[in-house]
Amino acid sequence: MKCIVHTAKDLVPHSTRYGIRYSCPVGGCSVVSWNGNSPADYSTRQARIQAHNKFDQLWKSGMLTRRNAYKKLARFLEIPREKTHIANFDLDQCQRTLQFAYEILEDKSGQAWGL
Ligand SMILES: [Zn+2]
């Protein structure tokens, strides 16, 4: 697995208590992959966490089932369901996931989404 910034560099695995953390050997580079998820820089990793938290509210609140929430997100992002893993999203997909979740959470009637 290569760094997405320093594309010639292999990410170096270290085991941690949270799993395996692959990091770029170049000093100051923030690119990391956890457990083989697609490597991302710091801001993308933060965006993934934010998008995941907001998205999870959809099914944790009971507005949608978890399965249905993922199905709708896949359709919204126009990607196959099996590729709908927020842990692998890029920055743009994270921002669109946030937008998706906000729109549903604010549209309590659910009409726009055919809930
Ligand atoms: Zn790097």
User: pTM for the whole thing?
Assistant: 0.80
Ligand 1 centroid to 91 CA: how many Å? 17
Mean pLDDT (whole number) for 94-113? 82
Is 115 a residue whose pLDDT tops 60?
no
Ligand 1 centroid to 25 CA: how many Å? 7
Is 112 a residue whose pLDDT tops 60?
no
pLDDT in tens, 11-69: 999 999 989 999 999 999 999 999 888 999 999 999 999 999 999 999 999 889 999 99
Q: Which sequence spans correspond to the domains of the chain?
A: 1-39, 42-108
Ligand 1 centroid to 114 CA: how many Å? 43
Q: Distance between CA atoms of 9 and 49, rounded to whole angstroms?
A: 25
Q: Give yes or no for a contact between 31 and 40, defined as CB atoms under 8 angstroms apart.
A: yes
Higher local confidence (pLDDT), 2 or 114: 2
Ligand 1 centroid to 3 CA: how many Å? 5
**Percent of the chain predicted with pLDDT > 70:** 93
Ligand 1 centroid to 51 CA: how many Å? 24
Ligand 1 centroid to 21 CA: how many Å? 14
Ligand 1 centroid to 41 CA: how many Å? 8
What pLDDT, on the 0 to 100 scale, is given for residue 107? 76
Own/partner long-range contacts of 55-61 (Cβ < 8 Å, ≥24 apart): 55/86, 55/97, 55/98, 55/100, 55/101, 57/101, 57/105, 58/101, 58/104, 58/105, 61/105
pLDDT in tens, 59-101: 999 889 999 999 999 999 999 999 999 999 999 999 999 999 9
Q: Distance between CA atoms of 84 and 71, rounded to whole angstroms?
A: 9
Q: Distance between CA atoms of 81 and 40, rounded to whole angstroms?
A: 21
What pLDDT, on the 0 to 100 scale, is given for residue 51? 97
Place of tokens 């249905």: 68
Residues, CB within 5 angstroms of ligand 1 (ion):
3, 5-6, 24, 26, 29, 31
